[in-house]
């Protein structure tokens, strides 16, 4: 009968497997594939070029990120869309005006590139 060890070299078996060189190489390759598909989708819709796709590396995992740090910081709206909103703004001379931000459908860049279902984020209730 085989013996199954919960720990190998003082580490959990799941951690040993996750940190295996072959597993890490596959994670890197998959993240790269998703990032390439996401960049293709984003480029097809990009108007001013501020948003970009980045791959970040954690201790174990890889993360494909839609970043809009250089633009309007609107990555969430780009992915999931937004509803129309109206805000009262004030210019540098103290004049007030209404600023209408139109509704926009989400592009679902990351969801599509990752072959995940497209889900719009719902409202969060705060008690």
Q: For residue 119, which of 73, 63, 80, 64 has the smallest C-alpha distance?
A: 80
Give per-residue pLDDT as tens, 43-59: 998 766 688 999 999 99
pLDDT surpasses 60 at 124? no
Confidence of residue 10 (pLDDT cuts 50, 70, 90): confident
Question: What is residue 126's predicted lDDT score, i.e. its pLDDT?
Answer: 45
Question: Is 53 in contact with 66 (CB distance < 8 Å)?
Answer: yes
Q: Name the residue with higher pLDDT: 55 or 85.
A: 55
Please tell me the distance from the alpha carbon of residue 68 to that of residue 97, in angstroms, as a whole number. Answer: 26
Question: What is residue 122's predicted lDDT score, i.e. its pLDDT?
Answer: 59
């Amino acid at each position: 009968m085989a013996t199954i060890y919960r720990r190998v070299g003082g580490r959990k078996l799941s951690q040993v497997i996750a940190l295996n060189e072959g597993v890490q190489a596959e994670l890197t390759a998959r993240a790269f594939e998703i990032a390439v598909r996401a960049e293709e989708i984003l480029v097809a819709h990009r108007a001013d070029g501020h948003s970009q796709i980045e791959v970040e590396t954690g201790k174990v995992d890889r993360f494909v990120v839609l970043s809009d740090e250089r633009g309007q910081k609107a990555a969430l709206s780009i992915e999931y869309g937004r509803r129309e909103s109206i805000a009262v703004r004030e210019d540098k001379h103290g004049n007030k005006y209404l600023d209408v931000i139109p509704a926009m459908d989400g592009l679902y860049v990351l969801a599509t590139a990752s072959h995940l279902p497209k889900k719009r984020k719902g409202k969060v209730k705060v008690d």
